[in-house]
């Protein structure tokens, strides 16, 4: 009876389907399943990580440093921003989102979120009691951000505005001028979510805006191109004052010793990183071209490691079920607010997985 009302309104959380779950349900061997559902890096993490993890094992009885100087140093070099401007989260970028809420939200505050977008922002904001004000990525205009819908929702109680770019699940980027307009119109924190920035055009990267403006936080992660989704490491770049406040309320030991070793090693293996970026983009283009050949699919151009597909003749539920029976996991987008029941998101696979997937698709579409 003492459970908070807001918590009672939450539905059980359903994350993307795992290979293990589908293997159990459909009696398929896990190694035969093609997972194109969670925007991961199909080539996995740097092969150098294994050896470094083994060296850390004898120290596992000791608490980690909240964030080691080596990790901050490597991140600072990778991003070309001072260490003082970086905060690292041990439950991925999700933890940074949660920590933003802990730091900024008071009773009566609101958060502006254009949809369809990453669902975690709204979940996190609700937990801390924020009012959610939805703006929109305009379906009629290939999901371009409707800037006015953001600006019209901002008032003096707006604390945080989430701008996901490239946007999940639509794959497009937000026009820089529009982001600038929003930043300049408010003193609320503008979170620029760059989880997929490594797959976008290099000149689009807005990470340095975290230093240029004092109300910007750029969110990034090791879950995508670095292939470390299973290890849960994310980070934010923002002004030093905000980093200092956020560090006071963040879960203090969430960034485990193994996570820190994984992140440091991944950042040092430049060659593997560059290859994953290059091959990731190639894989996305292969999927885009392959999917475009099906006349009953509308495929959206993407700057991320997935493509959004509109189904013209079936629902996403039917489409995903047919694929699951054949051992392919893609993301049913009906759970994204503001999208409808006929969209799916397909993440990059290895070239061989893409080929098998496109072949299987001929049986369905």
Provide the 10 A C-beta neighbour count for residue 25.
Answer: 11
Identify the CA nearest to 254 among candidates 89, 101, 53: 89
277-280 long-range CB contacts below 8 Å, 24 or more apart? 277/198, 277/199, 277/225, 279/43, 279/351, 280/41, 280/198, 280/199, 280/225, 280/305, 280/348
Which residues ranging from 164 to 193 are in contact with ligand PMP (CB under 6 A)? 164, 168, 193
Taking the least distance from each CB to ligand PMP, the nearer of 128 and 336 is 336
Nearer to ligand PMP, 94 or 198 (CB): 94
Q: Is 1 helix (H, G, I), strand (E, B) or coil?
A: coil
Contacts 24+ apart (CB under 8 A), 101-106: 101/125, 101/127, 101/128, 101/130, 101/160, 102/128, 102/246, 102/249, 102/250, 103/242, 103/245, 103/246, 103/249, 104/159, 104/160, 104/189, 105/129, 105/130, 105/159, 105/160, 106/159
Nearest approach in angstroms of CB 162 to ligand PMP is 9
Of 17, 37, 39, 258, the residue at the interface with ligand PMP (CB under 6 A) is 39
Query: Quick one: which of 94, 98, 109, 146 contacts ligand PMP (CB under 6 A)?
Result: 94
* Piece in contact with ligand PMP (CB under 6 A), picked from 92-100, 106-114, 181-189, 261-269: 92-100
Please give the residues from 189 up to 218 whose contact with ligand PMP meets the rule CB under 6 A: 193, 195
Distance CA 199, CA 304 (A): 5
Q: Which of 42, 114, 234, 236 binds ligand PMP (CB under 6 A)?
A: 234
Report d(CA 230, CA 46) in Å as an integer: 13
* Smallest distance, ligand PMP to C-beta of residue 78, A: 16
Candidates 198-206, 221-229, 327-335, 354-362; binding stretch for ligand PMP (CB under 6 A): 221-229
Q: Tell me, what DSSP letter sits at residue 10?
A: P
Distances (CA, A) of 327 to 24, 34, 78, 347: 11, 6, 38, 15
Per CB under 6 A, 42 contacts ligand PMP: no
Gyration radius from the chain CA atoms: 20
The answer to whether residue 221 forms part of the interface with ligand PMP (CB under 6 A) is yes
Kindly tell me which of 42 and 92 has the beta carbon lying closer to ligand PMP.
Answer: 92
For residue 268, what are its two tokens? 């040092």
Asked if 266 and 45 count as a contact pair (C-beta separation under 8 A), the reply is yes
Nearer Cβ to ligand PMP (39/103): 39
Q: Is 93 in the site for ligand PMP (CB under 6 A)?
A: yes
* C-alpha distances in Å from residue 290, one per residue of 62, 329, 354: 50, 17, 9
Residues 312-341 that bind ligand PMP (CB under 6 A): none
Least distance to ligand PMP, CB of residue 219, Å: 6
Residue (188 or 304) nearer to ligand PMP, CB: 304
Stretch of residues binding ligand PMP (CB under 6 A), selected from 58-66, 89-97, 104-112, 284-292: 89-97
When binding is defined by CB under 6 A, the residue of 103, 158, 223, 316 that contacts ligand PMP is 223
Q: Specify the residue, 168 or 172, whose C-beta has the smaller distance to ligand PMP.
A: 168
Q: Which residue is nearest to ligand PMP (CB)?
A: 92
118 makes contact with ligand PMP (CB under 6 A): yes
DSSP conformation class of 58 = G
Looking at residues 135 to 164 of the shown chain, list those that interact with ligand PMP (rule: CB under 6 A): 164
- 264 or 361, CB closer to ligand PMP? 264
Element (H, E) at 283: helix 270-292
Closer to ligand PMP by CB, 110 or 168: give it.
168
Judged by the rule CB under 6 A, the positions of this chain that interact with ligand PMP are: 39, 92-94, 118, 164, 168, 193, 195, 221, 223, 229, 234
């Amino acid at each position: 009876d003492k459970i908070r009302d807001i918590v009672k309104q939450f539905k059980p959380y359903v994350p993307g389907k795992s290979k293990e779950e589908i293997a159990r349900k459909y009696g398929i061997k896990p190694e035969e399943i093609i997972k194109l559902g969670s925007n991961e890096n199909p080539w996995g993490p740097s092969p150098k990580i294994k050896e470094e993890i083994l060296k850390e094992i004898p120290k596992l009885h000791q608490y980690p440093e909240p964030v080691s100087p080596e990790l901050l140093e490597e991140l600072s070099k990778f991003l070309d921003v001072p260490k003082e401007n970086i905060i690292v989260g041990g439950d991925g970028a999700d933890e940074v989102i949660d920590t933003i809420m802990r730091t900024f939200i008071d009773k009566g505050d609101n958060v502006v979120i254009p949809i369809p977008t990453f669902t975690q922002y709204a979940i996190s904001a609700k937990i801390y009691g924020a009012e959610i004000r939805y703006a929109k990525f305009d379906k009629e205009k290939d999901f371009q951000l409707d800037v006015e819908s953001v600006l019209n929702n901002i008032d003096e109680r707006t604390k945080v505005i989430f701008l996901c770019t490239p946007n999940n699940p639509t794959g497009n980027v937000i026009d820089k001028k529009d982001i600038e307009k929003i930043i300049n119109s408010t003193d609320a924190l503008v979170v620029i979510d760059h989880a997929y920035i490594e797959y976008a055009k290099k000149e689009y990267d807005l990470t340095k805006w975290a230093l240029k403006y004092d109300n910007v936080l750029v969110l990034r992660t090791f879950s995508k191109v670095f292939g470390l989704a299973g290890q849960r490491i994310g980070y934010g770049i923002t002004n030093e004052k905000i980093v200092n406040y956020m560090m006071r309320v963040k879960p203090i030991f969430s960034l485990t010793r193994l996570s820190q070793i994984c992140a440091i090693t991944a950042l040092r293996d430049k060659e593997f990183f560059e290859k994953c970026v290059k091959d990731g983009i190639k894989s996305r283009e292969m999927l885009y071209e392959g999917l475009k050949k099906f006349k009953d699919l509308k495929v959206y151009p993407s700057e991320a490691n997935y493509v959004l597909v509109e189904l013209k003749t079936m629902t996403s539920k039917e489409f995903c079920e047919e694929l699951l029976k054949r051992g392919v996991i893609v993301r049913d987008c009906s759970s994204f607010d503001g999208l409808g029941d006929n969209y799916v998101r397909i993440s990059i696979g290895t070239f061989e997985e893409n080929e098998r997937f496109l072949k299987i698709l001929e049986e369905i579409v």
